[in-house]
Chains A and B, each alone.
Chain A
Amino acid sequence: MTQQTVKFGIQLPVDMGQDVAEVARELSENCQVSYRLPEPDSESAKDELSFDPISGAAIGWILLKVVGAAAQGIAAKLIIELVCKRYMGRSKESKVVPIRFSDGTIFELNTDDPESTEQLRKILAEKADR
């Protein structure tokens, strides 16, 4: 089977690092999953972090890379688990979460809209490097 690489970023609260690590571990059985969390103290942080106006919590781009034959499917699973289950599991979270790709494309995933999830799958297929 063809080896694929899918790279993307999800804009999430920075304190979800633990969740990212867990989900990456759970889904890395047939694929290689790596991630990079935003570093609040880094030089680029001022451009990459925003803050929740009520709680002051930091929001940043969490980068994920999936390599393997089933990379597209695993990437979709990663997003659904992280965004739709873990993130949305927290109270009052926004229903729209931006997903970013290495060519600059940004897709706003609306977790309430099944068409939006379908659209995301198509974009993941387009962005996968073979």
Chain B
Amino acid sequence: MGPRGTRSVGNSLQVRAFRRFARKPWCYGAAKQVVDIMERRGWKPYQISAIRCVMDDFRQAYTGERPCIYTTAFVPTELVYGLGAVPFLPEVAAGYAAAFGFAYDALGAAESMWYSADLCSFHRAGVGAGKLGVLPRPSAVIATAHLCDGGKKSLHRMSKDAGCPFYLLDVPYDRSERGQKRLRDQVEHIAFDLPEKVPGISPEGMAEAIRVSNATLDDYLEVCALRQHSPSPWRGGEALNYVVMFLGAWGNPWLAEFYKDLASHIRGIIASGEYPCCSERHRLLWLNLRPYYKTGLLDYLELELETSVAFEEYNWPYWSELDPDDPFASVARKMLANFGWGPIERRLAAVDSMIDDYSIDGVVQFAQWGCRQSNGGASMLADHLKRRGIPFLNLGGDGVDVRNGSEAQAMTRLGAFVELIDAKKAR
């Protein structure tokens, strides 16, 4: 996709090296051996499962072993796995870019293409990474129209650059029968149109992908139930890193392995009493994402302030079991079930459920710079929580672009917020 070998903004040594090696199959053989060593050296089974899940998808996407389909974060990946392809989420890749120090290059590349720094950095970095040629080559792009303007627009651009088919799932606003049918028809259209355009794609695996997804959901619901335990048995700071699994791997059998291992890990923590935050003072619900570049923010909150992030909005399972006999309608229903879509009351109700289920003392919304759909609800969220007597903090920052985040300021605000909860409990 990108201008290979050309000098452009962000085309750093790191980027050039990644671009050169990411498509070599032997790299994944070497990486597999490294993961085996990590496993022997005591990395936790769920961490190893997660790495293997991501690595497996990356290998198939980068080496062209299977067709790669770019999607936005809220496309049910059952659709992609069911078609026999491998999903790739550029906005998730932006999180990796931040974690591994590529983000500045990707953001610079996007800005050199006239993308405004006022746009959400997850999408901006995705477009920039595409320009730098560090993403796998997409065979097709599927975007949903709900929740996020940046996702669909950035992926549309990437499909044009790649010269591959672009499909927009124009999700209706309401959940009426008419709306469901419209969305179901669009899903079905993709499932039958794409095989005519991309070799190696077939809808035959849809039912199986949905069965895998359902089985995984059972495992995941157990993880969620275990996380209701107080003190919190798993750090939210770490859970926010695994949002990538939650967003991008439904329908992949590795995801079930990951959640099984995670449940086992959490059960072990509860049995041993070795909680990550032993003297837990408060339990928070975290809305939206977190900074993925190197930051001490979550450590400060959970370890120094002894305040657990007990659960995260973007890890909340909002759909019920899907029907493998009616896969297209199921995928449509899953999209429509998203609590971030539709009137704000749906999101407020979801937050209420999480507060009740996870015994939450306070709510923090990480106000990702440029995230209109989430930040636009802040005043209503604040008012709603105030009526419930739950303290709320709207914490400005940026998950990818370090230039928009001030760690010291954020820490000060979190410290003050914890004091506020202290005072509230003392009353």
A binds B: no
